[in-house]
Amino acid sequence: MLHFDQLPAAALAQRFGTPLYVYEEQTIRQAYRRLRAAFAFTDLRLHYAMKANANPWILRLLLEEGAHIDAVSAGEVHLALAAGCPAHRILYTQSAASDADMAFALQRGVLVNAESLSQLARLGSLAPGSRVCVRLNIYLGGGHHSHVITGGPDSKFGIDWEQWPQVQELLTAKGLRLVGLHCHIGSGIRDASLLAHAVSHLFHTARNFGPLEFLDFGGGLGVPYRDEEGPLDLAHFASLMEEKYRAFCQDTGTSPAIALEPGRFLVATAGNLLCRVTSVKQERKHLFVGTDTGFNHLVRPAFYGSFHRIDAVTPRPGELRPTVVTGNLCEGGDLFTRDEHGPLPRLLPPLQEGDLLVLREAGAYGFAMSSRYNSVPLPAEVLVDGNQAKLIRRRETLEDLLTTVPTALAPETL
């Protein structure tokens, strides 16, 4: 019988219904503490990349642990502040930010991370003399899929590091005060030396600038999704980073704070999508097992061909069978056992309609990327701690699907 912390999965399904996102509070706290403890830096800022999971109750528990926040939209700034994060602990890294986006952050005292020369210039005009961080493209990229690579010639993010003289000029011309440099090369990286390589690049470029309050190396720290995948070697990453930091401090006579922006690392393994089997059919080629969820609730398999472990809550005895686990949406790609190209049957115990399944490692970019496609309301989210379950987002209702639609039209001639 499968449990989340001390609670049986079946009891959670019974009480809160399915599909249900279930998070283990202690797993999140432990991930944060493990990451913090891996580094010797006295001033280490772990900016939780809340795009991975923006539930305010999850933000609160990470803030309690001491996290800072990486926010990428006005909505994320709003949620972080609402969860009690002080403005000075938020770094605002919006892609293609408008003046309105920047004004929103500035008015709340949130530091803007500028990722283009034009954004820097506009920031200078909006808020002359303000503090600013600059995001560089250090021409290094990595990640579990091409969609999540954020550095290199094809990347839309950041200012080409070779343009540092133009950055300098703009800062001077606009009277802006550069307090930090930032890079982020991609997501889902379990190779410590690649991450450390990015660290070297940013330290190298930072030598062209004056004293900085902090250097932010972004997120991207991967976690294993498959049994055969090894974890990121944190100790190795930390030692490489510390070595480069010591050299930087010695050469420049400065000792900036170090920032990282972990999203996946902190929440992926803590989260699970609990769902129910609603259909079992043996077709000519495949055994299809349909569920009461779909890529509207967990898009990673359909979007990236990502692998998520699938466990039966109460495995039935019998031979494992090659099974294609599907969602309930009207699209052929709505499969949970697939790669980028199509179905990939997985060996699972016999399943019957009514059985419960768990899609594992779904805490990061799970609910956060969910949608109301096919007009299916969003699932509920529950946080489990010991033998206690807390509903941290109620299940949407059919009525919720109509909340933003006026009941009568008020035509306007413009």
Q: Considering the complex, state which of residue 264 and residue 276 has its C-beta at the smaller distance from ligand LLP.
A: 264
* Contact between 276 and ligand LLP per CB under 6 A: no
- Taking residue 27's Cβ as centre, other Cβ atoms within 10 Å add up to 19
* Contact between 53 and ligand LLP per CB under 6 A: no
Binding test (CB under 6 A) with ligand LLP, winner from 19, 124, 180, 219: 219
* Contact between 365 and ligand LLP per CB under 6 A: yes
| Count of residues engaged in binding ligand LLP, rule: CB under 6 A | 22
* Contact between 336 and ligand LLP per CB under 6 A: no
* Active-site residue flag, 330: yes
Q: How far is the CB of 149 from ligand LLP (least distance, A)?
A: 10
Q: Which stretch binds ligand LLP (CB under 6 A): 81-89, 158-166, 213-221, 234-242?
A: 213-221
* Contact between 262 and ligand LLP per CB under 6 A: yes
* Contact between 49 and ligand LLP per CB under 6 A: yes
List binders of ligand LLP among 155-194 (CB under 6 A).
Answer: 184, 187-188
Q: Considering the complex, state which of residue 123 and residue 198 has its C-beta at the smaller distance from ligand LLP.
A: 198
* Contact between 265 and ligand LLP per CB under 6 A: yes
Tell me, residue by residue from 57 to 96, as one string, x for binding to ligand LLP by CB under 6 A and - for no binding. -------------x----------------------x---
Q: How far is the CB of 67 from ligand LLP (least distance, A)?
A: 13
Q: How far is the CB of 51 from ligand LLP (least distance, A)?
A: 6
* Contact between 295 and ligand LLP per CB under 6 A: no
Q: Which stretch binds ligand LLP (CB under 6 A): 205-213, 219-227, 230-238, 323-331?
A: 219-227
Contact set with ligand LLP (CB under 6 A)? 49, 51-52, 70, 93, 148, 150, 184, 187-188, 218-221, 261-265, 300, 364-365
